[in-house]
Amino acid sequence: MSTSGSSDLSLLDGVMSEYSQAPENLITILQKAQDIYGYLPVDVIYYIAQRTGVKPAKIMGVATFYSQFRLEPVGKYLILLCNGTACHVNGSEEIERLIGEKLFIQNGDTTADGLFSLRKVSCLGCCSLSPVMMINDEAYGSLTPEKVIDILDELARNARQEEGL
């Protein structure tokens, strides 16, 4: 594994000066780093290790323990499909299957065009609207197969238009 990389580490300066002194802030640092880079690149992990004095292996241990952290970049649209109990009994498995068939991805994957990533998450807490998914912080509730297809088509269309501009 290469420890050097192309990430702009200076983006982390503010975070480091605020949090790097106490080891209990590691999770906060990783969260802020992920906000900046979209995921946790390896060179960023080594840089955090160097600045905090926590061993890189320990940081990898933490980064892989918590489901929030990603070691790979995600697509433009991150689909968080709720897998809570209420969503389960109201048909979230059908929705997952449909997304898989439509986008040719499974849980954890990103489409080849880099547009969509799919992640099953435990309860989003909008149980009365189940089944629910959240795409880039916007929640979509009471999903039906038709609704999901419309939503994904519209997002893909938006992305194409943005690129065209």
Partner 1 sequence: MKIVIGEGSCGIAAGAGKVHSALESALGGTQGVDLGLTGCIGMCFLEPIVELRDGETLVRRLVRVSEKDADVIAAAAVSGDLSMLDRLCIQPEDEEFLDKQTRIALRHCGIIDPTGIDEYIACGGYEALKKALLNMTQDQVIEVIKTSGLSGRGGAGFPTWFKWNATRQSPGKKYLICNADEGDPGAFMDRALIESDPHNLIEGMLIAAYAIGSSEAFVYVRAEYPLAIVRLEEAISQAKSRGLLGENILGTDFSCDITIKAGAGAFVCGEETALIESLEGKRGMPRLKPPFPAQKGYKNMPTNINNVETFANVPWIILNGGEAFAAMGNQKSKGTKVFALTGKIKRGGLVEVPMGKTLRDVIFEIGGGMIGKSAFKAVQLGGPSGGCIPADLIDTVIDYSAISATGAIMGSGGMVVLDETTCMVGVARFFLEFTTNESCGKCVHCRIGTKRMKEILERIVKGEGKEGDIELLEELCLAIKDGSLCGLGQSAPNPVLTTIKYFRNEYEEHIRSKHCPAKQCRNLLRYVIDPEVCTGCTACARHCPTSCISGRLKQPHSIDSDKCIRCGMCVSRCKFGAISAE
Identify whether the C-beta of residue 42 lies closer than 8 Å to the C-beta of residue 2: yes
Pairing state between β 116-121 and 77-82: parallel
**Of the candidates 30, 45, 79, 148, which one interacts with partner 1 according to CB under 8 A?**
30
Q: Does the protein bind partner 1 through residue 37 (CB under 8 A)?
A: no
Q: Does the protein bind partner 1 through residue 148 (CB under 8 A)?
A: no
Range list of β-strands (E), 51-90? 77-82
For partner 1, the closer of residues 141 and 156 by Cβ is 141
The one-character DSSP state at 129 is: G
Pairing state between β 116-121 and 133-135: unpaired
Q: Does the protein bind partner 1 through residue 137 (CB under 8 A)?
A: yes
How many residues lie near partner 1 (CB under 8 A)? 43
Q: Does the protein bind partner 1 through residue 121 (CB under 8 A)?
A: yes
Question: Phi/psi at 80 (nearest 5 deg)?
Answer: -100, 105
Q: Does the protein bind partner 1 through residue 127 (CB under 8 A)?
A: yes
Cα gap 23→27, rounded to integer Å: 9
**Of the candidates 69, 75, 148, 152, which one interacts with partner 1 according to CB under 8 A?**
69
Residues that bind partner 1 (CB under 8 A): 22-28, 30-31, 54, 58, 61-62, 65-69, 83-90, 94, 121-130, 132, 137, 139-141, 145
